[in-house]
Chains A and B, each alone.
Chain A
Amino acid sequence: MILPLIVFFACAIAAVVGAIFLILAREPIHSALSLILVMISLAVLYLLLGAPFVAAIQILVYAGAIMVLFVFVIMLLNAGVEERTDWSKIAKWVGFPLGSVLLVEIAYWLFHSEPGTAIANGAAAPPPASTFELSTALFRQYLFPFEATSILILIAILGAIVLARKDE
């Protein structure tokens, strides 16, 4: 089928362009919008991979909740245009090469992983997991990591409140 390929490349290009524009844009709102573009492209990619639930949650949580708060805070603070600086030395001489190495490494493992090669050679993708299966796995098999994550997030929220509170 040619249609999934077209959709895949359109979304992949949109995601990469959005990610680049996110860094390059000087207006904070434009950066936020680019990030939303990345999130939505990723959601469509999840949909292509046969994970509609993850796709919907990706849009609902990231684009619909977290990024809304980002945009809201940027608007509320009326954040001005970003100032450009020359790259820091660490970013230039350590960060950039390390990032490139990581990218190559990920690409290498993706091309050589077993499910990756199988699907590239035309094997059928696994059937989409139903919401029931997903929630059973989440609340039975992975209950402890799930609850641990929620406690971690709660601690993070409390930490944010403590840090942001004015001393009286």
Chain B
Amino acid sequence: MEFISQHPVLVVSLVKIALTLFVVMTALAYLTWFERKVVARMQSRWGPYYVGAHGLLQPLADGVKFLFKEDITPPSSDIITYILAPFLALVLALTAIALIPIGPTDVLILGQPVYAVSNVNIGLIFLFSITSLGVYGVALAGWSSNSKYPLMGGLRSSAQMISYEVSLTLSVVGVLLLAGTLNLSDIVSGPNGQTGHWFHLIPKWNVFPQIVGFLCYIIAAIAETNRVPFDLPEAETELVAGFHTEYSSFKFAMFFMAEYANMITVSSLATILFFGGWLSPFGGGEWEKFIPVVIFLGLAIYCMFEIVTELQAILHKLQFTIVVGLFLALAAVCFFFPHYAMPPFWFVLKIAIFMFFYVWARGTLPRFRYDQLMSFGWKLLLPVSLANLVVTAAVWLVMHP
């Protein structure tokens, strides 16, 4: 106890890091399940169904499978770089998440903010500097495999990420002008933040004045994370699996996890910059704690219904009972500790909507051709985000003489 009171920064930071890592890793695993389920529904299939009730244990089975598969290293590969690449990809993706605040900074425990692993004053620039290094994972993987398809995939992917990073960064500058700060917490709730409403109705989120910037951001973000319709690096029909063709076993899984972690980072940043982060759309009244309670209770009731009518195997019923318990516990936490539970609830809800958007895009859109991708990025997206920046700056100057 004495140690804890003497080193609050160290202890609280370590606990936050461990917790974040646990939550993010679990979320990554279940995002794959979510994606497969949603895409399956869009294509009139069942998706994962047999491992656990409704495939709930599929992520676990996948993880075990990846761990026990043979780890093949191509003999002609550049061994150090070959091993370095997946580590680089995953480490950078997870480091970026440490900068994301998921709640207000004035909720303290032992004098330390609860909801941000690190509250950096120039958080946005640090975030961009970390994500900008993410290209190396892809490029080095493609190069070190010493094989034709990975090299082509790595080249394409690097070119794509370099091109779209410009638009991504420029589309955010408009928000920076409005917020007047680089601190991610202050962008949400600082003096020029996104608290309050216009006409007591529309929340003061940056997405409304910065709608063009948001559209540029979300397009560039999907391209940055190499997802459909910009998933050219792994265009199966042309490049087998792109830059990670030669990777197997857990190194492949690391690329996979890095991709999903990047999706989370990008969605979190979109939430913070454009959608008011952890702020509620209704202004944060006392009655709002009933929203998550109703949602979680509804989910619990649906699951109970499922136990009674659909599920046959006793093991599956048991698994769903645990899920019901989980939803009830979440409802209870939101009801009894709204001060602590509401900010993360809104934040996670907004991220979940972005994740659904990602999956939706994957389920419905065809892939770009490479030349279309490049001309779209340089000839349309970049000028539009530049114009957005210029117009925002001009309007800002007129309003703040």
Residues of B within 8 A of A75 (CB): 139, 142-143, 151, 154-155, 158
Shortest A45–chain B CB gap in Å is 15
Interface string of A26-40 (1 = CB under 8 A from B): 010110010010000
Report how far A92 CA is from B361 CA in the complex, Å: 61
Question: Would you call B78 and A68 a contact (CB within 8 A)?
Answer: no
A152: CB under 8 A from chain B?
A: no
Is A131 close to B, CB under 8 A?
yes
Question: Which residues of chain B are near A15, meaning CB under 8 Å?
Answer: none
- By the criterion CB–CB under 8 Å, are A52 and B121 in contact? yes
**Distance of A13 Cα from B22 Cα, bound (Å):** 33
**Cβ of B125 and Cβ of A68 under 8 Å apart?**
no
Instruction: Quote the shortest CB–CB distance from B148 to chain A (angstroms).
Output: 11
Most chain B CB within a 10 A radius of its CB, from A52, A53, A63, A64: A64
Is A9 interfacial (CB 8 A cutoff)? Answer: no
For window 77-134 of B, CB contacts with A under 8 Å fall at 78, 80-81, 84, 120-122, 125-126, 128-130, 132-133
A interface, size bucket: 20 to 34
Choose the segment among A54-62, A95-103, A115-123, A141-149 that binds chain B (4+ C-beta atoms closer than 8 Å): A54-62
Q: Is B21 an interface residue, CB under 8 A from the partner?
A: no
| Given A33-B81, A64-B133; A52-B155 close (CB under 8 Å) | no
Query: Known contacts being A33-B81, A75-B143, is A53 close to B125, with CB within 8 Å?
Result: yes
Interface presence of B136 (CB below 8 A):
yes
Contact of A131 among B78, B122, B144, B154 (CB under 8 A): B122
Please determine whether B81 and A52 come into contact, CB atoms closer than 8 angstroms: no
> Is B270 interfacial (CB 8 A cutoff)?
no
A156 at the interface (CB under 8 A from B): no
The residue in chain B whose Cβ has the minimal distance to the Cβ of A56 is: B125
Contact B162 A68 (CB under 8 A): yes
Q: Which of B84, B143, B155 has the most CB of A within 10 A?
A: B143
Question: Which residues from chain B contact A76 at a C-beta distance below 8 Å?
Answer: 155
CA distance A76 to B152 in the complex (A): 9
CB within 8 Å of A: which of B47-87? 78, 80-81, 84
Q: Does A52 lie within 8 Å of B128, measured CB to CB?
A: no
* Residue of A33, A56, A63, A71 with most partner-chain B CB within 10 A: A56
Asked if B239 is an interface residue, CB under 8 A from chain A, the answer is: no
- The smallest beta-carbon distance between A30 and chain B, in angstroms, is 8
**Quick check: A29 and B162 within 8 Å, CB to CB?**
no
Contact flag A29-B155 (CB < 8 Å), given A56-B129, A59-B129 = no
Contact between A68 and B120, CB atoms less than 8 A apart: no
Name the residue of chain A whose CB is nearest to the CB of B181.
A131
A155 within 8 A of B: no
The answer to whether A29 touches B154 (Cβ under 8 A) is no
Residues of B within 8 A of A33 (CB): 81, 84, 140
Decide: B129 and A60 in contact? CB cutoff 8 A: yes
A139 close to B (CB within 8 Å): no
Q: Flag if B78 contacts A64 (CB, 8 Å).
A: no
Say yes or no: is B219 at the interface (Cβ < 8 Å to chain A): no
* B-side contacts of A111, CB under 8 Å: none
> Can you list the 7 inter-chain pairs with the closest CB atoms, starting with the nearest?
A64-B132, A60-B129, A59-B129, A56-B125, A56-B129, A72-B158, A68-B135
Pairs A–B under 8 Å by Cβ, sample size 10: A52-B121, A52-B126, A53-B122, A56-B129, A59-B129, A59-B130, A60-B128, A64-B132, A71-B139, A72-B139
Given A29-B143, A52-B121, A75-B142, 5 more pairs with CB closer than 8 A: A33-B140, A63-B132, A69-B162, A72-B155, A72-B158
Q: Point out residues on B near A: beta carbons under 8 Å.
A: 78, 80-81, 84, 120-122, 125-126, 128-130, 132-133, 135-136, 139-140, 142-144, 151, 154-155, 158-159, 162, 182
